[in-house]
Amino acid sequence: MRTGLGYTFNEGKNNILLGYGYILSENYLPNSNEKINVNEHRIFQQFISKQTIGSIKLNHRYRFEQRFVEDDFKMRFRYFSGLNIPYNKKESYYFSVYNEIFLNTESAIFD
């Protein structure tokens, strides 16, 4: 579950949001087929910026998360970039490419 309260400005090109997420994960135990439930609560702040270059649309999302994973507290930064290139002028069909980078604030930098 994710929810948030946001504000869109600059003629719809930018958005800021304060959000909360609850994530229930099922993680495998080491050297086993058994799983355990892991509860995570997240508070996050994000900024979205949309750009248009001709008919190509770019989307950037910057997110900072405070993660409460069971009895542990973690923080991480996320950067999402998306690109939509239409096949036709009606933009009903398009080619889409995206990627997201997760950066932890502690030991294992990439997540």
54 within domain boundaries: yes
100 within domain boundaries: yes
pLDDT for 88? 82
98 within domain boundaries: yes
7 within domain boundaries: yes
pTM of the prediction?
A: 0.84
73 within domain boundaries: yes
% the chain with pLDDT above 70: 98
- Concatenating the DSSP letter of every residue in 94-107 gives EEEEEEEEEEESSS
Tell me the residue range of the domain where 25 lies: 2-104
pLDDT for 102? 94
Please state, in angstroms and rounded to a whole number, the distance separating the CA atoms of residues 1 and 87.
34
Could you give the number of structural domains in the chain? 1
Strand spans (E) along the chain:
2-9, 14-28, 35-53, 56-69, 72-86, 94-104
Q: What is the pLDDT of residues 66-85, one digit of tens each?
A: 999 988 999 999 999 999 99
Structure tokens at 18: 């304060």
